[in-house]
């Protein structure tokens, strides 16, 4: 367990480096990320490499024991490259070329961009393969789908389709191009989904395939860099900084050949203020490879380019950093070290202000560094293990973004409804792809599995048949894998397992209606309503208002050794609290907690030992009832089964309750007390 910073020595005078490094050591910084935006300094002219400045700073870092992750600098092609190859600039939907002056101003399919990208990566990998400070690489920066509509992309897209379908007749049949007389008689006739008379309302099958192609273009671009680094620096790890719940591309494919996932966490910024932090994003990132992660950019203060966000308190920043650890981060790297004096991100604040003085944010980072160092011994090697999982596939996001259908039906919103209710119970939750090992989970949630393949249907059916509990949502099984509507009764391939048939539906949008669950309580629902016919399932909620009043809204069906719940509508938070409580009971999932609003809980474990991390994102203290006996490693000791968390407080505890006694684990209280005393002293020194 350790902390780091994102460092840009090329953006400040070299005379600052010695002071920077001394302050880093004082703040327990043990790793830096560098060079991901430094192409113009590393290659100031074509084929002329200048690595001496990076050599010098790496040597200085190594001398004091600080390690480095180097970024490949391809997110910011230099001006000389664009001047020589202007076709590198990406084209928008109207085929207008974008210009120079920001980052990511490149088409990832352009052969000149690819060739020069390979050359700079190879030169760096060769040069730094054996430098003792370098431990790994970050490819590019925050990769997204290749959003370009240039002639090169159009030609490559048609070739990609030809390789996939083989014959134009297959494309015409799969996409149903008889609609609007769009049948193709030559591959060159296939358009990109650029601006047209009807805006961007192209054939949904064309749009879905283009989204897949855009994603695959980015995957191929990164793979070239991975292959080069593996060849020349085989002892270094390779990662990439993903963006949480970003959905422009397939993160599972992007991460397939990485050693582990890293991600960037900015909970409070000018575009979004989320005082509860980013637990869902953290679990999505951990689920990409189903293993622990790094946070490569952790918010450190005020963020903003032209408009600034609020200044989080130091206690909040510490709480947010600990939350990422609770959800599976082993290393937390703060963005950035020095606040930039120039350029677009002058107000995206770092550990040090523009004046470079170690002020309050420095002290806050130092205190967190002390805590991470002292808790490394018990927490190193721990991982997050869950009995509950939510399925995720990026095709589902693409399809809902192409045809949103009704307001409030985004995939992440649906995930959030279930996720929030589960987290109120203090449960770990995994977010996983459908090809993951499903049998390890007692409860599986599929939020509107809109694009339903035969393979996914078979896996879900077998999961339930073998004893799993599955929750399906409305708009499941609507489309096949080319985004054409299936013609069986909804939920199509899963109808027999679910024991229901969708007789009709109403896209409610902002309109509301109500449902009553079996215990008589009523809840508001919105966005969508399915009218359900029971084919073996039992109704556990009925509509009480709206066009389907009196008809089943939510059902339960036993199938094989397992059980399927079908939620035909989307409700307020209380509905999910009530129904998921029942479902968790029936699936024997626990131990559970009843967390106050704004308190996050997650468990990490190893070798039979379990550690609970509590984070209070409220500006007032909260009392949390906790399961079993807990020994404090950080924070106040439990009293009579409860823990008091101060405002923005954090507690880290080792469990020695019933489950741990059964496993024969759990250290003595004296060991834990000594550990806690050491941490308290360390934190006090850091704050002073």
Instruction: Identify the bridge partners of residue 298 per DSSP, sorted by sequence position.
Output: 265, 334
Per-residue burial over 492-519, b = 16 or more CB atoms within 10 Å of its CB, e = otherwise:
bbbbebbbbbbeebbebeeeebbbebee
The catalytically annotated residue of 104, 297, 605, 660 is: 297
Helix (H) or strand (E) holding 7: none
Place of tokens 């029971």: 534
What is the 3 state secondary structure string of 439-476?
A: HHCCEEEECCCCECCHHHHHHHHHHHHCCCEEEEECCC
Cα–Cα distance, 60 to 56 (Å, whole number): 6
Instruction: Identify the bridge partners of residue 70 per DSSP, sorted by sequence position.
Output: 34, 137
Q: Which two tokens stand for residue 176?
A: 């149903």
Cα–Cα distance, 519 to 540 (Å, whole number): 9
Other Cβ atoms within 10 Å of 241 Cβ, number: 26
Phi, psi of 76 (to 5 degrees): -135, 75
Phi, psi of 564 (to 5 degrees): -120, 130
Cα–Cα distance, 633 to 426 (Å, whole number): 19
The catalytically annotated residue of 28, 36, 43, 142 is: 142
Q: Which of 200, 190, 94 is nearest to 148 (CA)?
A: 94
The two counts, helices (H) then strands (E), for the chain are: 20, 27
Place of tokens 């990409």: 288
Q: Which two tokens stand for residue 455?
A: 């393979």
Instruction: Identify the bridge partners of residue 432 per DSSP, sorted by sequence position.
Output: 391
Cα–Cα distance, 74 to 114 (Å, whole number): 9
Helix (H) or strand (E) holding 541: strand 538-545
Other Cβ atoms within 10 Å of 15 Cβ, number: 7
Q: Quick check: is 437 catalytic?
A: no
What pairing do the DSSP bridges indicate for beta strands 609-616 and 650-655?
Answer: antiparallel
Rg (Cα) of the chain, in Å, rounded? 27
Cα–Cα distance, 266 to 257 (Å, whole number): 26
Q: Quick check: is 620 catalytic?
A: no
Cα–Cα distance, 508 to 666 (Å, whole number): 52
Other Cβ atoms within 10 Å of 235 Cβ, number: 9
Catalytic residues: 142, 297
């Amino acid at each position: 367990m350790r902390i780091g910073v994102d460092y840009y020595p090329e953006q400040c005078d070299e005379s600052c480096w010695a002071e920077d490094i001394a302050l880093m050591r004082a703040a327990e910084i043990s790793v830096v990320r560098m060079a991901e935006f430094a192409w113009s300094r590393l290659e100031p002219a074509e084929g002329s490499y200048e690595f001496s400045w990076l050599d010098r700073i790496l040597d200085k870092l190594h001398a004091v024991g600080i390690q480095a992750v180097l970024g490949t600098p391809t997110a910011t092609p230099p001006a000389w490259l664009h001047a020589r190859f202007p076709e590198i600039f990406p084209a928008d939907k109207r085929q207008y070329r974008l210009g120079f002056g920001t980052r990511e101003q490149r088409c990832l399919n352009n052969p000149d961009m690819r060739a020069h990208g390979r050359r700079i990566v190879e030169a760096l990998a060769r040069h730094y393969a054996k430098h003792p400070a370098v431990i790994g690489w970050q490819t590019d920066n925050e990769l997204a789908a290749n959003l370009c509509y240039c002639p090169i992309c159009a030609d490559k897209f048609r070739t990609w389709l030809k390789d996939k379908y083989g014959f134009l007749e297959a494309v015409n049949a799969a996409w149903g191009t008889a609609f609007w007389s769009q049948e193709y008689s030559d591959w060159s006739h296939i358009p990109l989904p650029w601006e047209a008379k009807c805006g961007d309302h192209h054939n949904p099958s064309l749009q879905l395939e283009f989204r897949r192609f855009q994603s695959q273009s980015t995957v191929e671009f990164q793979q070239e860099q991975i292959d080069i680094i593996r060849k020349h620096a085989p002892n270094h790890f390779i990662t990439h900084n993903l963006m949480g719940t970003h959905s422009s591309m397939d993160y599972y494919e992007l991460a397939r050949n990485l050693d582990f996932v890293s991600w960037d966490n900015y909970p409070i910024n000018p575009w979004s203020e989320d005082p509860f932090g980013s637990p869902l994003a953290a679990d999505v990132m951990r689920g990409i490879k189903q293993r622990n992660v790094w946070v490569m950019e952790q918010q450190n203060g005020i963020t903003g380019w032209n408009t600034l966000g609020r200044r989080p308190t130091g206690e909040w920043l510490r709480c947010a950093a600990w939350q990422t650890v609770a959800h599976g981060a082993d290393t937390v790297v703060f963005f950035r070290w020095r606040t930039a004096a120039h350029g677009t991100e002058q107000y995206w604040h770092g550990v040090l202000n523009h004046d470079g003085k170690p002020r309050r944010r420095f002290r806050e980072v130092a205190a967190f560094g002390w805590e991470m160092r002292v808790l490394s011994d018990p927490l190193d090697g721990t991982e997050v293990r869950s009995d509950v999982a939510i399925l995720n596939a990026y095709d589902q996001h693409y399809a809902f973004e192409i045809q949103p259908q009704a307001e409030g039906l985004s995939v992440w919103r649906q995930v959030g409804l279930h996720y929030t209710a589960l987290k109120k119970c203090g449960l770990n939750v995994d977010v996983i792809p459908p090809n993951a090992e499903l049998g390890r989970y007692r409860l599986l949630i599929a939020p509107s599995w809109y694009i339903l393949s035969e393979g996914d249907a078979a896996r879900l059916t077998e999961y339930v048949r073998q004893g799993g509990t599955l929750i399906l949502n409305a708009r499941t099984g609507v489309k096949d894998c080319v985004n054409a509507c299936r013609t069986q009764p909804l939920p199509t391939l899963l109808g027999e397992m679910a024991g229901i048939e969708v007789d009709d539906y109403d896209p409610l949008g902002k309109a509301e209606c109500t449902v009553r669950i079996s215990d008589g309580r009523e809840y508001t629902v919105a966005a969508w309503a399915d009218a359900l016919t029971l084919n073996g399932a039992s109704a556990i909620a009925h509509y009480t208002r709206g066009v389907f009043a009196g008809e089943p809204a939510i059902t339960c069906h036993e199938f094989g050794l397992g059980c399927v719940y079908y939620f035909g509508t989307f409700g307020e938070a209380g509905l999910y609290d009530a129904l998921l409580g029942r479902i968790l009971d029936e699936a024997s999932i626990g131990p559970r907690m009843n967390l106050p609003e704004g308190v996050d809980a997650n468990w990490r474990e190893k070798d039979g030992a379990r550690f609970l991390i509590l984070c209070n994102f409220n500006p007032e203290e909260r009392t949390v009832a906790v399961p079993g006996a807990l020994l404090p490693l950080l924070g106040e000791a439990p009293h009579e089964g409860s823990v008091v968390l101060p405002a923005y407080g954090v507690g880290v505890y080792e469990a020695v309750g019933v489950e741990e006694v059964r496993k024969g684990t759990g250290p003595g209280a004296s060991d834990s007390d000594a550990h806690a005393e050491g941490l308290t002293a360390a934190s006090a020194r850091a704050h002073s």
